[in-house]
Amino acid sequence: MRLSTISWILGLLVLTGLAASAQSGEPIPHYCMGCNFAGSPLAGRDFSGDVLVGANFEGAQLSAATFRGTKIVASNFSGADLRGVSFDAAECTACNFQDAKLDGATFAGVRMVAANFGGYAAATTDAALRDLIGGCTACNFQGASLAGRDLRGISMIGVDLARADLRNTRFDGSVLCWYVVDGTQRGTKCVGLKDARVNGASFLGVRRCRDPSDGATCTPVTAAALQRDSGSPLSGAVLP
């Protein structure tokens, strides 16, 4: 039997064992690739510092679990119960949180790229929400329910809030716009606000930055530029 075939069989046996361990309560390996935890009872499990690549947690029961410092890549949490979960200092790339229950979850120091939070409506504190969105680059929050939330003073590079409920939400002082380069041309884009509900939302002092971590590189955004580059007339909002 060829070595490659043996390696494939061993890999399949390992993955099968991992799926079984999620059900039995046995320890889960610290490096888990392609593991299937769909619908598994994992409440209170500690994934701190683990590496999860292509893991499937769809519909899993993960309330009060811990993902502190976990590296998560291309993993699916859709429909999972993530109430009270800690994602503090986690790194998450291309993860799907569509329809996940995130009430009470925390995100201090999180770094997320291209994550999907479509329809987000969790009961979290404003501080936790700022941690999440401020640590999220190129993330989808289309249709999110964020009315009345305090999103002041954070960076929202590449965030899409199309069709979101943003009535009376405060964005004052946040970095909502950034520079883009197309060949020799340089332009700007802003947070996607197409068809968002923005009555009473405040955009005073919003900024565009070359480097969001360095305030010296930031300049104020005009109302006209924000309307043009966000894809919304922002009717009823308080504009710069």
Tell me the two tokens of residue 179: 């520079």
How many angstroms separate the CA atoms of 44 and 60, rounded?
Answer: 12
The pLDDT-based confidence of 214 (bands split at 50, 70, 90) is confident
How many angstroms separate the CA atoms of 200 and 166, rounded?
Answer: 8
Who wins on pLDDT, 2 or 34? 34
Give the per-residue pLDDT at 181.
Answer: 83
Whether 21 has a pLDDT exceeding 80, the answer reads no
pLDDT in tens, 119-157: 999 999 999 999 999 999 999 999 999 999 999 999 999
Other residues' Cβ atoms within 10 Å of the Cβ of residue 183: 5
Which residue ranges make up each domain of the chain? Answer: 1-126, 141-240
- Rounded mean pLDDT of the chain? 89
pTM, to two decimals: 0.86
Give the per-residue pLDDT at 99.
Answer: 96
Question: What number is the average pLDDT over the span 55-78?
Answer: 97
Question: What number is the average pLDDT over the span 12-36?
Answer: 58
Tell me the two tokens of residue 92: 């998450």
Tell me the two tokens of residue 88: 């503090």
Who wins on pLDDT, 29 or 129? 129
Whether 103 has a pLDDT exceeding 90, the answer reads yes
The pLDDT-based confidence of 8 (bands split at 50, 70, 90) is very low
Number of C-alpha atoms within 13 angstroms, CB side, residue 57?
32
Who wins on pLDDT, 184 or 209? 209
Using DSSP's 3-state secondary structure scheme, residue 51 falls into strand
Architecture, CATH, for domain 1-126: 3 Solenoid (2.160)
Using DSSP's 3-state secondary structure scheme, residue 134 falls into helix
Give the per-residue pLDDT at 182.
Answer: 80
